[in-house]
Amino acid sequence: MKILVVGSVAFDNVETPFGKVQDVIGGSATFFSVAASFFAPVAVVAVVGRDFPNAELDFLRSRGVDTSGIEIAEGRTFRWTGRYHEDMNLRDTLDLQLNVFAAFKPTLPEAFRGAELCFLSNIHPGLQRGVLDQLREPRLVGADTMTHWIQDTRPELDELLRRVELLTINDEEAKLLSGERNIVVAARKILAMGPKSLLIKRGEYGVLHFSADSVFAVPAFPLEQVFDPTGAGDTFAGGFIGSLAKSGDFSARSVRRAIVYGSVMASFVVEKFSLDRLRELTSEDVERRYRQFVALTEF
């Protein structure tokens, strides 16, 4: 089952307590698609500038990612600069240059409109909705969002939520979206807004999944060093949707396995800067860590 992801492909400047990198590849669609590519074919819709290196597009293609939906526009690529605190659950955005992303209006190539699995990563909910309008008959659509859209584009977000099966969000965003402090109450309220399934990402504390009749909790993999958390959420989503696409099975059991695969992929990506850990990763590594998750949690 083929996956379509719409989102950003970007340059990042990142500083963590362990080091600093300039002009490395980032962006939600990038992390998502590389993670998903370990499980199933992925097509990306995004925009980059003329400054985006061909070598990186070649890398995506080497992972089986369909890059024909990545438009190369006049101008510079989206660029994010951030610094993590000693407590890496906290970060500051130091600079944000939308560049070619400012005018991004995702248009799906005809070949992509029949996608069965679509993930709308973190962009303006109006644009996310525009993608939905171009899809013929998706079996499952997931979306991500963030504080900025919850605060500033609530009507568009509300409309989107009525039309997606799955929402991924973090702890703070779930509290903000629902107006509730208790995460279980917050989850119930968000499910009432539309999504049938809600994934709450809690960083080093793992993931909670809520549906109408079930709650599933999986801890994060305890790592001796979290080197760079950038892209962990998008990588999680890529592993999760990838696993669902590979199995073609959307049952509760398969969803749980997919959440663990998402957690596996996220646990790798934070071990190095940017996509560096995923570049060298093998499917055997993925399966080994999945078994470590079993050992970590079984009783």
Residue 224 lies near its own copies (rule: CB under 8 A): yes
Contact 48, 75 (CB under 8 A): no
The strands making up 91-97's β-sheet, listed across from edge to edge, are: 19-26, 10-16, 79-84, 91-97
- What do you get for the CA distance between the two ends of the chain, in Å? 34
User: Closest distance between its own copies and the C-beta of residue 219, in Å?
Assistant: 4
User: Closest distance between its own copies and the C-beta of residue 138, in Å?
Assistant: 25
Query: Looking at 96, 151, 214, 291, which residue binds its own copies (CB under 8 A)?
Result: 214
Q: From CA 260, how far away is CA 240, in angstroms rounded?
A: 8
Residue 163 token pair: 């039309």
Rg (C-alpha) for the chain, rounded Å, is 18
Q: From CA 201, how far away is CA 173, in angstroms rounded?
A: 10
Query: Looking at 51, 204, 271, 276, which residue binds its own copies (CB under 8 A)?
Result: 204
Nearer Cβ to its own copies (150/220) = 220
Nearer Cβ to its own copies (76/189) = 189
Phi, psi of 52 (to 5 degrees): -80, 130
Residue 223 lies near its own copies (rule: CB under 8 A): yes
Q: From CA 34, how far away is CA 46, in angstroms rounded?
A: 14
Considering only residues 267 to 296 of the shown chain, the ones binding its own copies according to CB under 8 A are: 295-296
Residue 253 lies near its own copies (rule: CB under 8 A): yes
Contact 29, 7 (CB under 8 A): yes
User: Closest distance between its own copies and the C-beta of residue 209, in Å?
Assistant: 10
User: Closest distance between its own copies and the C-beta of residue 268, in Å?
Assistant: 16
Contact 30, 143 (CB under 8 A): no
Considering only residues 51 to 90 of the shown chain, the ones binding its own copies according to CB under 8 A are: 86-87
CA distance to 22, 73, 75, 250, per residue, from 121 (Å): 23, 20, 23, 20
| Site map (CB under 8 A) of its own copies, residues 168-197, x = contact | -------------xxxxx------------
Using the 8-state DSSP alphabet, how is residue 262 labeled?
A: H
Amino acid at 16: T
Query: Looking at 46, 70, 259, 264, which residue binds its own copies (CB under 8 A)?
Result: 259
Residue 94 lies near its own copies (rule: CB under 8 A): no
Q: From CA 40, how far away is CA 2, in angstroms rounded?
A: 7
Nearer Cβ to its own copies (96/215) = 215
Residue 215 lies near its own copies (rule: CB under 8 A): yes
User: Closest distance between its own copies and the C-beta of residue 17, in Å?
Assistant: 8
Residue 18 lies near its own copies (rule: CB under 8 A): no
User: Closest distance between its own copies and the C-beta of residue 30, in Å?
Assistant: 27
Contact 250, 257 (CB under 8 A): no
Query: Looking at 54, 93, 225, 251, which residue binds its own copies (CB under 8 A)?
Result: 225
Residues that bind its own copies (CB under 8 A): 86-87, 181-185, 202, 204-206, 208, 214-219, 222-226, 253, 256-257, 259-260, 295-299
